[in-house]
Amino acid sequence: MSGDTTAKGRLGTVFWASLAVSSLFVAWGVLAPGHQMATMNAALDRITLGFGWAYLLLPLLLLILLTGLAFSRYGRIRLGSDDDRPEFATHTWIAMILCAVMGIGLVSYGIAEPISHFAAPPHGLAEEGTPQAAIRALQYSFYDWGLHAWAIFAVFGLGLGYSMYRKKRPGLVSALFRPLLGRHADGPAGKVIDIFTVFATLFGTTTSLGLGALQIDSGLNRLLGTPTGTATQVVIVIAVTAVFSLSAASGVQRGIRYISEINLSVALLLFAFVLFLGPTAFLVSLFLESLGQYGDEFLLMSLRGPAFGDTEWLQGWTYFMMAWWVSWGAFVGVFLARISRGRTIRQFILVVLGMPSLAFFAWFSVFGGSAIELDLNHGTDIAGATAADLNSAFFTTLAEFPLPAVTAALVVLLAVLFFVSGADANTYVLGMLTTRGSIQPRVPILLLWGAMTGALAIILLLSGGLDALQQTVIVASAPFLVVIVGVVVCLWRDLRTEPADPSPPSEPRPRGTPEDRLTPLS
């Protein structure tokens, strides 16, 4: 880390270039929104038609690589020195990983995606509104939110954790490229990589911010009768941006930790409420059968592209989801690396791939399955309401359960908390990436990135709402696909320098005081 300690915290090329590009995008959206959306549409078509296969193939290849790595001799290597032990007890570590994944997407899409696929089965694989369509609906929801997404996150987390803790490099994506670029990783080439990282992370955050505003807008309308529309969504974005920017600037670990704990508690309460008051036996059966179908057609599903004219569907679902995960790769990678020091590579891969995927599968099965059962057997039209307004899905479903006002309020609370905690952490990561890896970015930098995130979300909501958010995240994430490939190559080069027979790991034991075991990124 020669020279890095004194350099950390200073503003450099990455900060100014990232700020300039982001500011130009905001100005473009203000001055010529029509031209901006037309350009983004053209870029979207060019990327998905020419390179859409990369969004399908890369996550699958990452899964294969990670699985092989976990069971190879490299699986025994620790993220740190050989005598490092985990900072957090295993159950605490798993809980923190789950808190990281419980994002606004679970509220926005937990019901909306399965019920949409039930009404219009992916790739025409079933007749709409049938039991077969129900299974396909969950199968493809598992695909979009499960192992493929976490393969992307795990590669970044593993690469960063290995680089930071075993190789003692700075916490920057460019530092991962030293095995490939040598000293150039600290020069212009490395700065380009970090700028790509900032740009992808910024638009991934912006997408979450926009989705959160849409969800809160719909919930407030149902609870309080407030008017819905772009004006309300803009007010929500401004209010929540102020909250998460100040929270990120405060740097208070306990506040972020408590928000995460409340998130998980509210989510579990809603989950149990719907599971036990809903058609429990049906939900368990649907989960198991859908999981079986997911496993049975894993390869075919992973590689099913637009050869037969499904490009529009893929743009709205699979391409968008995979691009969203790519754009979140660096942020989640930093989070995972921060909490995983001392873990073995095998333990890291198996837990990071397995536990969040199972949590998502259960969430989609209970909430999405309940909506499907209502439409299938009780004459409701949740699918129709969702087609008219994606953000109404959760509230329309809970209206069929007892205490609809209470559960709707809990959903709004959940959306706000996910909104604040996720954007808070992302603002911190943006500040860190643009101040040469500083673990304590200056307050003005954090406030600036918070404001920039909010401004971008407002521009996209004014330009085209959900469609604009989906288009932009796919376009912004495309260059980052190349960065992911580079991360894999560099990690492999690093691992090949390891001794042939690393020391066998002893039983992990927690280290540090309870005060040390706080939420990371603070």
**Do 75 and 344 meet the contact criterion of CB atoms below 8 Å apart?**
yes
> Band of the pLDDT at 249, cuts 50, 70, 90?
low
Quote the CA–CA distance of 58 and 332 in Å, as a whole number.
Answer: 18
Report the share of the chain in percent with pLDDT over 70.
Answer: 88
Mean pLDDT, the chain, integer = 83
Spatial distance between the Cα atoms of 77 and 496, rounded to a whole number of angstroms: 12
- Separation of alpha carbons 265 and 368, rounded Å: 20
Residue 200 phi, psi dihedral angles, 5° rounding: -65, -45
Measured over the CA atoms of residue 59, residue 65, residue 68 and residue 73, the dihedral's sign is negative
Q: How far apart are CA 98 and CA 106, in angstroms?
A: 12
Which pLDDT band holds residue 522 (cuts at 50, 70, 90)?
Answer: very low
pLDDT at site 475: 80
Phi-psi bin for 492: left (phi > 0), alpha (psi -120 to 50), beta?
Answer: alpha
Amino acid at the residue 113: E
For the domain 8-500, what is the CATH code? 1.20.1740.10
Query: Of 404 and 429, which is predicted with more confidence?
Result: 404
CA nearest 395: which of 216, 219, 210? 219
Helix axes 188-224, 318-339, angle to 10 degrees: 110
Q: Kindly tell me the burial class for residue 276, based on how many C-beta atoms sit within 10 Å of its own C-beta (0-12, 13-18, 19 or more).
A: exposed
Residues 6+ apart with CB under 8 A from 359: 98, 101, 102
Q: Give the predicted TM-score (pTM) of the model.
A: 0.85
CA distances from 25 to 36, 40, 416, 426, 476 (A): 9, 11, 26, 19, 11
Tell me how many helices (H) and strands (E) the chain has.
22, 0
| Spatial distance between the Cα atoms of 294 and 139, rounded to a whole number of angstroms | 5
412-427 pLDDT per residue, tens: 888 887 777 777 777 7
In the 8-state DSSP scheme, what is residue 401? S
What amino acid is encoded at 504 in this protein?
Answer: P
pLDDT at 368: 96
- The model's pLDDT over 16-67, given as tens digits with 9 standing for 90+, comes to 888 888 888 878 877 887 887 888 888 888 888 788 889 999 999 999 999 9
Give the C-alpha separation, 164 to 166, whole Å: 6
For 199-241, the pLDDT digits (tens) are: 888 877 777 777 788 888 888 888 888 888 888 888 888 888 8
Helices (H), 8-78: 13-31, 33-70
**Distance of alpha carbon 273 from alpha carbon 280, whole angstroms:** 11
For residues 146 and 357, is the Cβ–Cβ distance under 8 A? yes
Residues 377 and 387: their CA atoms lie apart, in Å, by 19
Cα–Cα dist 246/238, whole Å: 12
Q: What are the b/e assignments for 463-497, b being 16+ CB within 10 Å?
A: bbbbbbbbbbbbbbbbbbbebbebbbebbeebbee
Q: Report the distance separating Cα 102 and Cα 104, nearest Å.
A: 7
Angle, vertex CA 512, rays to CA 507 and CA 518, nearest 5: 110
Q: Is the pLDDT of residue 289 over 90?
A: yes
Distance CA 431, CA 508 (A): 33
